[in-house]
Structure 1
Amino acid sequence: MEESKADLSWIHKKSTEIWEFLTSEKLWDFILIASLKIIAILITSYLVVFIGKKIIAKIFLLRIRSPLNHSERRQKTILKLLQSVLSYLVYFSAIMGILSSLEIQVAGLLAGAGIAGLAIGFGAQSLVKDVITGFFIIFEDQFGIGDYIRVNAAEGTVVEIGLRTTKIKGVTGEQFIIPNGAITDVTNFSINNSKAMIDLQVAFDADIEKAEKVINQYLVTLPEVHPELVGPPTFLGVQNITGTEVTIRIMAETLPLQQYAVARTIRRDVKDLLEKNGIPIPYPKMMLYDRVMGREVEGGE
């Protein structure tokens, strides 16, 4: 009985202490002041990030428009990176400020984090490799946002470059997220002009000189219609000969990544030109043997 009374007394005492603590003026003053500080920190952080990103974007927009010939793709890449770094720094500072508002010893946490970070660092070599590789990708301007590249098994347009990962949007809409440390060989299709090699077939007995003349008259008119062409396409001549057809080749130099559309247009127009000028296009033929007449008869497809 005495033990039960003692337990009840202890429970009553603790309940009273907790109730007094929860209803104390000091606690609610602390909650009110801490809440105001946290709200102020969050609002200030949001405004700093929002305004900071706008200022950074404005500065780089002026650099792109300046007559100093800054690379637009490089400026966009650095712009995104600086905006990300600004967000990380501001929000990290905001977290430290919130912890201080709650009277949590930030210095002790940072010291503990430093020791833990040293231990984790031995297992975070891939992360360090990603960051270092990402820095050199940006510093050496290997590729930038908007470039069409091929990296490992991924191919598409670069949508984001960070210090740790690179994001690539594929042709059919898929998104590749590649750790920078895994990037070894990069093929960038957006830096130099592209070339389209267009092979067309004409019949073996076609007049090649007439075909060349007709095609050249057409090719010289293309730069006026297609501004993506660097110059008039070139008729290279006969590329291959078989028993039934002759392959002729046309080369067109275009701005980066514009060769596919130009090649499709040239194939369509040259086919129409050859037909209009009576230059035969090869088609499959079948030889039939007439048993009655004892001779071969040429058939169609």
Structure 2
Amino acid sequence: MNRIIDWFFRKSSFFDEEVEQTIQSVIRSIFRYIIIISLIIYLISQFVDIKSIIAGAGIAGVVIGFAAQQMLKDVILGFARLADKEFRVGDFVTFNGTNSGTIEEISIRFMQIREWSGKLLTIPHGEIRTIQNFNKGWMRVIERITVSYQEDPTRVKELLEEVCVICNEELNQTLYRVEDEAVEPFKYVGVTDLNPNLKYVGYEFCITGLIKPEDYFETSRQVRFELMSMFHKNQVQMPAANMVVTTEGLQHIHGGQSLSDS
């Protein structure tokens, strides 16, 4: 059966490769269930009268119905998601905000994704609540970096603009394009915060760029490398740790006065 399915899709050219892989995966899953169910019915029929089973299927049907409720839910959701084209084989996705990986197989009941570590994760459709698809349309690289208040913001701005020029040259092939025109090349956004968190104190700057989704992670790493290389080359000061000291109620060990009173 697998050979017949493979032969059919090799001879056809109705869909692109990723869609074909998804359809093949679903068709194999459907045929697999049909064969298994047919085999079970055949084996049972060799030892038990099927007609008597059907006649007394009232109570058994209720029991089986409860047992198959979750499976039926998985199948219905599987068909709905396939019809909505939420994802396809080869997409990089995150499920329920926790599990991330590349889709390797889609069946009518479950989905298998390969995590970055190499683990193969099988998730029933009924357990999938939210889906983040990193292969739809475009993605925006957003890199924020905080520098010391001692730095001249104009100097930092010029360095970041230089980084954007380098990224647009070195990573040109990853930029998202419409009619061969880059929609949003890497650009300097500006100062996005003056005290971004309690750990470090300084100016927060930001650069962004619109890229093809399949290049998102690798491009993000390369942009960070260019940022660090530029800052290291020009000895840009990074923010110092912000330390808060509470003196209330502290006293010298040898009868000294309270620091809060001094």
TM over 0.5: yes
Q: Which residue of 1 aligns with 2:159?
A: 214
Counterpart CA distance in 2 for 1:166 and 1:111 is 37
CA offset at residue 235 of structure 1? 0.5
Residues 205, 168 of structure 1: CA spacing in aligned structure 2 closer, same or farther, 3 A cutoff?
same
Residues 50, 283 of structure 1: CA spacing in aligned structure 2 closer, same or farther, 3 A cutoff?
closer
Residues 206, 99 of structure 1: CA spacing in aligned structure 2 closer, same or farther, 3 A cutoff?
closer
Q: Which residue of 1 aligns with 2:218?
A: 261
Contact 1:252 1:259 in 2 (8 A): no
Contact 1:56 1:79 in 2 (8 A): no
Given the alignment of the two structures, is residue 139 of structure 1 paired with residue 65 of structure 2, yes or no? no
Counterpart CA distance in 1 for 2:7 and 2:155 is 62
CA deviation string 1:236-294 (max 9, x = no partner): 1112225963221111222215333323322322333234446x3135499xxxxxxxx
Q: Which residue of 2 aligns with 1:240?
A: 193
Counterpart CA distance in 2 for 1:110 and 1:257 is 55
Q: Which residue of 1 aligns with 2:50?
A: 109
Give ranges in structure 1 of 5+ residues lacking alignment. 1-48, 65-69, 287-301
Give the aligned CA root-mean-square deviation in angstroms: 3.4
SS in 2 for 1:143: coil
CA deviation string 1:194-232 (max 9, x = no partner): 222212233324333333233323423423422223342
Residues 163, 285 of structure 1: CA spacing in aligned structure 2 closer, same or farther, 3 A cutoff?
closer
Number of aligned pairs? 226
TM score, norm. by length of structure 1: 0.62
Q: Which residue of 2 aligns with 1:192?
A: 137
Counterpart CA distance in 2 for 1:211 and 1:141 is 44
CA offset at residue 151 of structure 1? 2.2
Higher relative contact order (CA 8 A, sep 6+): 2
Larger Rg: 1
Q: Which residue of 1 aligns with 2:101?
A: 156
Counterpart CA distance in 1 for 2:2 and 2:221 is 45
More helix by share: 1
CA deviation string 1:108-158 (max 9, x = no partner): 437736855734442222222121111111111122222222223433222
Counterpart CA distance in 1 for 2:70 and 2:42 is 31
Given the alignment of the two structures, is residue 282 of structure 1 paired with residue 238 of structure 2, yes or no? yes
TM score, norm. by length of structure 2: 0.69
SS in 2 for 1:173: coil
Counterpart CA distance in 2 for 1:262 and 1:204 is 29
Counterpart CA distance in 1 for 2:157 and 2:192 is 13
